[in-house]
Chains A and B, each alone.
Chain A
Amino acid sequence: MNLYEKTAYDAAMALEKKEVTSVELVESVLGRISEVEKNVKGFIHLIERETILEEAREIDRLRAKGQRSSILAGVPMALKDNMCTMGIPTTCASRILEDYRPPYNAHVTEKLQQAGTVLIGKANMDEFAMGSSTENSAFYPTHNPWDTNRVPGGSSGGSAALVAADEVFFSLGSDTGGSVRQPASLCGVVGLKPTYGLVSRYGLIAFASSLDQIGPLTKDVRDCAMVLEIIAGNDSRDSTSVPREKESYSSYLGRDIKGFKVAMPKEYFQEGIEEAVRESVMNAVVLCIKLGVEVEEVSMPHTSYALPCYYLVGTAEASSNLARYDGVQYGFRAPDQDNLIELYLKTRSQGFGSEVKRRIMLGTYALSSGYYDAYYLNSLKARTLIRQDFENVFQNYDLIITPTSPSPAFVRGERLDDPLTMYLSDIYTTTANLAGVPAISIPCGLADGLPVGLQIIGRPFDEGRMLQFCFALEKMLGFKGLKPKISADGVLKDVS
């Protein structure tokens, strides 16, 4: 078995037992990257080999002296390119920030640095995290390692594909309406969107402030728990970060899940869902029952409001968050402008891609005087109803089980000209962002050789028990160990 194939936990254990060094782990993933990255295109920016190796050597030296900053010290990883990394390009996959190097680190960047993990590069994404296929990257689309003709999902498509293709041991993504969970689902990895306020957004370049959360993309549930432990926790620089005791999520793993009460909302299994996806998820439900879990169908009547509500709240906030890219202080500035208005118009017209412009216009419209009440205000009301749906269900159930996405990975280009169908990719995932509750996608099977994801939604700050549940289920699902057969020539091979 190649080193790069290990989970982050196994790699960490091998480091702990001194079977490998961080330098060897780095060499292994760099070798893997040089082999497959040209077919995956998961990175926007790769850090210079020598810089990475020097960091790994330092961590090895410290470890030899008995100083390791965390269990994951020395393990290579990637960050989505909307998380600020000091002096390292942070582009949001946009022309408008193409040459932008932040003068400071995001909270998560700091946390992972303090933990001694090794940053390999910045992952590709849909521009400003707007999209569900990573085709909206201003630079190039990322390919799904399971079938390079297909999309990896989005917007954290780079982060998901890199983990699926074993180019890094784990990565971070950001999730505004499903941007961690949907690509996790399409790439066959684990992706968690934590409770709103659990992970600091300081240094995460905002798309929609009231929805954005950073979460891990990992090879399995244990890795997810370990990474979450590092990045979760209160940060005084983010006023929406919730002060709470630090939790050991790993300590939940391996506990019995018998007696858990799980709700299956019927609204998530209605038209639009592909049959193979439904089957996969229903298989998982049967397994749950075998594990002694009580599963019952429930109704969450306001689910149908979620998508329109999401596209109003999200675009409204985005229209304001993205207004700062005006060519004045930093980033791209269009050449040849005669006055201030032209500077703004040309910079923003040339600097943003079409999906970003579409959403800025939608959001601007929704906030305009005369429309505010009908759109923005009503969507806030809908949001309250959606939140109440969750509160009601969680009075009687511990968790909610749903599919993550209505279909497995689709072919690149297929939905590009049809934004509405593209938006439907998020139909099961936006609710958790609107309600602020935690949700995770774990792979639950294959449909025609493509991974299918299962979504588990929990009570606010109940990540521990969610992970406990997923860990038990993951063992039974038998997906673990399945890998895409991507190789240097990029041809999809049969999964054995």
Chain B
Amino acid sequence: MSPEYEVVIGLEVHVELLTESKIFCSCPNRFGEAPNTNVCPVCLGLPGSLPVFNESVLELAVRASLALNCTVSSYSKFDRKNYFYPDLPKAYQVSQYDFPLAKEGFLDLLKDGRSIRKVRIERLHLEEDAGKLIHDQKESISYVDYNRCGVPLVEIVTAPDLRSPGEAHLFLDWLKKILLYTGVSDCKMEEGSLRCDANISLRPSGTETLGRKVEIKNMNSFRAVQKGLEYEVIRQKQILRAGGRVAMETRRWDEEKGVTAEMRGKEEAHDYRYFPEPDLPPLMLDENFLSRMKGELPELPEKRYLRFMESYGLSPYQAEIITSSKNLADFFEDTLLHYPHSQKVSNWLTGELFGLLKTSVKEIDDIPLTPLHLGELLKILDEGTLSSTLAKEVLEESFLSGKLPREIVQEKGLLQISGEKELLLIVEDVINNYPAAVKDYSDGNKKAVGFLVGQAMKQTRGQANPQVITELFKKRLGK
């Protein structure tokens, strides 16, 4: 019988920081400009140019470090990582080697409302991004776009603590949430502002020694990370079960073919010849700065997720959706200030409002509808003067125009008709108009009342209170 294997995964995540300008020059930090227009002598690495550290990079990186429970070093320094590649204009990348900005943190991996694993963060360090190569297959020419050179990055390295491709995906979900919550990065994998490489090895279950690891690159979505790792688990299992040895190598995920393929062998491993960057002084952080940064940290998604379940009685599923973004969770809690029933707010938020956001392709913070609007609408609903069908219409109107629900209801005369006198007239009217249905009912088909109520609703453009009118029909026609 072949042994069972345990999967061991570690991730290296590169995250572009959301600063105004690049890390060592004043070029704007922007995505999507025409090639080689967003550059200057410094980020082009022209002879004689020198880097100057952009202090706002530090705030974001420290925020990320604290959010990942890392110890931020009071002393860290920059080093040069030397290697030749056309997208690296200085032929070295300014990075941090033996004194990273932060180390020894963790991320609590939550699933279904509980922690399934504490993933250790080994280090978080600062570095500059490189440019981009654009290959023209037809002409077999490569071009370089230097716009991305000098975009500030943090590299986050986890310990080999993840135990399945699914956990790797989950880790990235949470990491992304944390970075979005703290405003550190926009984490757009499709724009390359979050990139992930993975190390994976297998070992016989119950053993402690790490197996021979393989690095996987070129995974361009969280799903691709999971798929690439799943493929690799199968591949490595097959090798091991056949009594083979997994080669230590870097493999490239091929999204189209759904396989990983060898990229470069270990014999070509680089000697990066790290040494202290002489053009930049070390980074010294004082306690005041660090405690200020700690104080400014918002409530983080894991905490909020657990709190929402506990305090508001939300299901893990609801809590997860609502805390998936800080703005959404804020919206939820702000709505509760106007209307305190969390379950109803959650239902409307994740139901109707999500639907509207989805069809209009908008985010919660760029619509005119505010928590006040939603709260007011739910209050009107409770008053029993508005049908839920109409409430949905009012919500949509409010969503588009930003008008308050009461205003809309009044303007359009949408208030529910509950007065018996008024409704009785309509009941009489319907009975006169639909004698067949009346007969049907009298003959014992009690379901026919539904048809009659429907007609009454139609006549009142939905304003009739359906409960009241059903009762009236029943009374009038005799049970």
Interface residues of A (CB under 8 A from B): 82-84, 90, 92, 97, 100, 102-104, 106, 201-206, 208-210, 236-240, 316-317, 319-320, 323-324, 326, 328-330, 340, 344, 364, 367-369, 372, 376
Partner of A209, one of B44, B82, B274, B279: B279
Rounded to whole Å, the gap between the CB of B148 and the closest CB of chain A is 15
Query: A102 and B89: CB pair below 8 A?
Result: no
Is B468 in the interface zone, CB < 8 Å from A?
no
Of residues 18 through 65 on chain B, the ones whose CB sits less than 8 Å from some CB of chain A are: 41, 44-53
Query: B273 and A330: CB pair below 8 A?
Result: no
Query: A364 and B84: CB pair below 8 A?
Result: no
Query: B84 and A326: CB pair below 8 A?
Result: yes
Query: A240 and B47: CB pair below 8 A?
Result: no
Query: B273 and A368: CB pair below 8 A?
Result: yes
Q: State whether A367 and B41 are in contact (beta carbons under 8 Å apart), knowing that A102-B47, A328-B86 are contacts in the complex.
A: no
Contacts of A102 in B (CB 8 A): 41, 46-48
| Bound-complex Cα distance A12 to B468 (A) | 104
| Bound-complex Cα distance A316 to B278 (A) | 11
What are 24 A-B pairs with beta-carbon distances under 8 A? Answer: A82-B48, A103-B41, A104-B46, A106-B48, A202-B50, A203-B48, A206-B279, A208-B278, A238-B50, A239-B50, A239-B52, A319-B273, A320-B80, A320-B91, A323-B90, A323-B91, A324-B45, A324-B91, A326-B91, A328-B89, A329-B45, A344-B84, A364-B273, A369-B273
Among A100, A210, A237, A376, the one with the most B-chain Cβ atoms within 10 Å of its Cβ is A237
Interface string of B255-291 (1 = CB under 8 A from A): 0000000000000000101110011110000000000
Is B92 in the interface zone, CB < 8 Å from A?
yes
| Bound-complex Cα distance A323 to B80 (A) | 12
| Bound-complex Cα distance A369 to B274 (A) | 9
Among residues of A, the one whose C-beta sits closest to the C-beta of B82 is: A320
Among residues of A, the one whose C-beta sits closest to the C-beta of B272 is: A369
Q: A239-B281, A240-B278, A324-B45 are in contact. List 9 more A-B contacts (CB 8 A).
A: A83-B48, A84-B47, A92-B47, A103-B46, A209-B278, A240-B281, A328-B89, A329-B146, A340-B86
Partner of A202, one of B49, B274, B275: B49
Among residues of B, the one whose C-beta sits closest to the C-beta of A331 is: B47
Is B224 in the interface zone, CB < 8 Å from A?
no
Contacts of B84 in A (CB 8 A): 323, 326, 344
Among B46, B48, B49, the one with the most A-chain Cβ atoms within 10 Å of its Cβ is B48
Among residues of A, the one whose C-beta sits closest to the C-beta of B146 is: A329
Contacts of B50 in A (CB 8 A): 201-202, 237-239
Query: B271 and A368: CB pair below 8 A?
Result: yes
| Bound-complex Cα distance A202 to B50 (A) | 6
Query: B41 and A324: CB pair below 8 A?
Result: no
Rounded to whole Å, the gap between the CB of A233 and the closest CB of chain B is 16
Among residues of A, the one whose C-beta sits closest to the C-beta of B280 is: A239
Contacts of A324 in B (CB 8 A): 45, 47, 89-91
| Bound-complex Cα distance A351 to B279 (A) | 25
Contacts of B41 in A (CB 8 A): 102-104
Contacts of A328 in B (CB 8 A): 86, 89, 144
Of residues 299 through 344 on chain B, the ones whose CB sits less than 8 Å from some CB of chain A are: none
Q: How many residues of B contact A (CB 8 A)?
A: 29
| Bound-complex Cα distance A467 to B50 (A) | 30
| Bound-complex Cα distance A104 to B92 (A) | 22
Among residues of B, the one whose C-beta sits closest to the C-beta of A313 is: B278
| Bound-complex Cα distance A206 to B52 (A) | 16
Contacts of A340 in B (CB 8 A): 86
Among residues of A, the one whose C-beta sits closest to the C-beta of B41 is: A104
| Bound-complex Cα distance A209 to B276 (A) | 11
| Bound-complex Cα distance A210 to B278 (A) | 6
| Bound-complex Cα distance A204 to B46 (A) | 11
Among residues of B, the one whose C-beta sits closest to the C-beta of A365 is: B273
Interface string of B74-93 (1 = CB under 8 A from A): 00000010101010011110
Pairs A-B, 8 closest by C-beta atoms: A323-B91, A209-B278, A367-B273, A210-B278, A205-B47, A203-B48, A84-B48, A205-B48
Contacts of A104 in B (CB 8 A): 41, 46
| Bound-complex Cα distance A372 to B271 (A) | 11
Main secondary structure of the interface of A (DSSP, over half): loop
Query: B278 and A329: CB pair below 8 A?
Result: no
Query: A100 and B47: CB pair below 8 A?
Result: yes
Partner of B89, one of A97, A329, A364: A329
Interface residues of B (CB under 8 A from A): 41, 44-53, 80, 82, 84, 86, 89-92, 144, 146, 271, 273-275, 278-281
| Bound-complex Cα distance A365 to B109 (A) | 44
Contacts of A320 in B (CB 8 A): 80, 82, 91-92, 273, 275
Partner of A204, one of B48, B82, B86, B90: B48
| Bound-complex Cα distance A201 to B279 (A) | 10
Among residues of A, the one whose C-beta sits closest to the C-beta of B83 is: A323
Among B80, B144, B271, B273, the one with the most A-chain Cβ atoms within 10 Å of its Cβ is B273
| Bound-complex Cα distance A103 to B44 (A) | 11
Among B47, B49, B84, the one with the most A-chain Cβ atoms within 10 Å of its Cβ is B47
Rounded to whole Å, the gap between the CB of A123 and the closest CB of chain B is 16
| Bound-complex Cα distance A482 to B89 (A) | 48
| Bound-complex Cα distance A205 to B280 (A) | 16
Contacts of B275 in A (CB 8 A): 316-317, 320, 367, 372, 376
| Bound-complex Cα distance A405 to B280 (A) | 32
Contacts of B279 in A (CB 8 A): 206, 209, 239-240
Rounded to whole Å, the gap between the CB of B132 and the closest CB of chain A is 14
Rounded to whole Å, the gap between the CB of A357 and the closest CB of chain B is 15
| Bound-complex Cα distance A330 to B274 (A) | 25
Contacts of A206 in B (CB 8 A): 47-48, 279
Contacts of B48 in A (CB 8 A): 82-84, 90, 102, 106, 202-206
Rounded to whole Å, the gap between the CB of B80 and the closest CB of chain A is 5
Among B53, B86, B144, the one with the most A-chain Cβ atoms within 10 Å of its Cβ is B86
Query: A237 and B89: CB pair below 8 A?
Result: no
Q: State whether A369 and B47 are in contact (beta carbons under 8 Å apart), knowing that A239-B280, A324-B91, A329-B144 are contacts in the complex.
A: no
Rounded to whole Å, the gap between the CB of A373 and the closest CB of chain B is 12
Contacts of A330 in B (CB 8 A): 46
Query: B47 and A239: CB pair below 8 A?
Result: no
Contacts of A205 in B (CB 8 A): 47-48
Among residues of B, the one whose C-beta sits closest to the C-beta of A380 is: B276
| Bound-complex Cα distance A205 to B47 (A) | 5
Query: A323 and B92: CB pair below 8 A?
Result: yes
Contacts of B90 in A (CB 8 A): 323-324
Contacts of B86 in A (CB 8 A): 326, 328, 340
Query: A97 and B278: CB pair below 8 A?
Result: no
Partner of A236, one of B44, B52, B82, B89: B52
Rounded to whole Å, the gap between the CB of B98 and the closest CB of chain A is 11
| Bound-complex Cα distance A201 to B45 (A) | 15
Q: State whether A317 and B278 are in contact (beta carbons under 8 Å apart), knowing that A323-B92, A367-B273 are contacts in the complex.
A: yes
Contacts of A323 in B (CB 8 A): 82, 84, 90-92
Rounded to whole Å, the gap between the CB of A274 and the closest CB of chain B is 34
Contacts of B144 in A (CB 8 A): 328-329
Contacts of B47 in A (CB 8 A): 84, 90, 92, 97, 100, 102, 205-206, 324
Contacts of A208 in B (CB 8 A): 278
Among residues of A, the one whose C-beta sits closest to the C-beta of B78 is: A239
Among residues of B, the one whose C-beta sits closest to the C-beta of A367 is: B273
| Bound-complex Cα distance A398 to B348 (A) | 80
| Bound-complex Cα distance A330 to B91 (A) | 13
Rounded to whole Å, the gap between the CB of B38 and the closest CB of chain A is 15
| Bound-complex Cα distance A83 to B48 (A) | 8
Contacts of A238 in B (CB 8 A): 50, 52
| Bound-complex Cα distance A319 to B84 (A) | 12
Among A90, A106, A205, A323, the one with the most B-chain Cβ atoms within 10 Å of its Cβ is A323
Among residues of A, the one whose C-beta sits closest to the C-beta of B91 is: A323
Rounded to whole Å, the gap between the CB of A328 and the closest CB of chain B is 5
Rounded to whole Å, the gap between the CB of A196 and the closest CB of chain B is 10
